[in-house]
Structure 1
Amino acid sequence: MKSNLQIVSDHYAASARGDIPAMMADMAPDVAWTEMAGFPCAGTWIGPAAVVSNVFAVLGRDWDDYRFTLEQLIDGGEQLVALGHYSGRHLATGKALHARVAHVWRLKAGRVVAFEQFTDTLLVARAMTA
């Protein structure tokens, strides 16, 4: 069985490749995925299908080269924290985004059971505003 650190690392490696099925491979069927209030995909989405349609599909539709760049992964056992930044260009405005972000992961029995995002939503809003 993979370690929690490996599960989260594999998610980010898949994200860098744009491989959504691999990104979701280790999610619990009832994973609670929370995008911060004020973020374009704000809310808590339950289950991998809801995450894909309400988060990754939206970001892929509205942004060019939207990505999370991992800078540090802090292993706390069943909780991990990823630090990095978002970047991309909003398709409607043409404005670039660069914002710091923290992701908090909770895992249990080799599955991601919860994810929560923290970022500067003002920077995201500015990129999305003409």
Structure 2
Amino acid sequence: MPTNKEIIEAHYAGFVEGDFAAVMAPFADDIVWTEADGFPLAGTYVGPQAVAENVFAALQRDWDGYALVVDEVLQDGDTVVAVGTYSGTYKATGRDFSARVVHVWRLRDGMAVKFEQVTDTAMVNAAID
């Protein structure tokens, strides 16, 4: 059985490989996904479908080349933390950005039940305004 760290690493690898099934695979049916206050998609979404529609689809709709480069993934029991950098170009303005980010994951029985994003929203919003 993979470790919690490996489960989340496989989630991120799914984005790189264009494998949406792998992206969604670790999500519990009742995952609680929180985008940071001040982030363009700020809010809390419950369930994989809500995350897919309100986060992943919205990022594709509004941004060109939106990406996350993960530098490090750390595990402490059921908590996994990923540290990296977001980047992309906002379609409406043509401005790009780069911002550091931390994702905090909580897993139960190998499934992600909670996600929280912490990022420099000022850097993201500078591309939008």
Give the match's secondary structure for 1:124.
helix
Tell me the CA shift for residue 22 of structure 1: 1.4
Alignment deviations for residues 18-49 of structure 1 (CA, whole Å, 9 cap, x no partner): 32221011110000000001111111100000
Residue in 1 aligned with 2:21? 21
Residue in 2 aligned with 1:104? 104
Tell me the CA shift for residue 6 of structure 1: 1.0
- d(CA) in 1 for partners of 2:89 and 2:38? 18
Q: Name whichever of 100-109 and 17-26 sits farther off.
A: 17-26
Tell me the CA shift for residue 101 of structure 1: 0.3
Tell me the CA shift for residue 17 of structure 1: 2.2
Residue in 1 aligned with 2:94? 94
The code of the aligned residue for 2:112 comes to V
TM-score scaled to structure 2, two decimals?
0.97
- d(CA) in 2 for partners of 1:34 and 1:9? 19
CA RMSD, 1 decimal: 0.8
- d(CA) in 1 for partners of 2:29 and 2:36? 21
Give the match's secondary structure for 2:14.
helix
Unaligned runs of 5+ residues in structure 2 are: none
Residue in 2 aligned with 1:68? 68
**Which portions of structure 1, spanning 4 or more consecutive aligned residues, are displaced by more than 3 angstroms?**
none
Give the match's secondary structure for 1:15.
helix
Residue in 1 aligned with 2:122? 122
- d(CA) in 2 for partners of 1:72 and 1:113? 21
- d(CA) in 1 for partners of 2:18 and 2:93? 23
TM-score scaled to structure 1, two decimals?
0.96
Q: Percent identity?
A: 50
Residue in 2 aligned with 1:46? 46
- d(CA) in 1 for partners of 2:20 and 2:98? 22
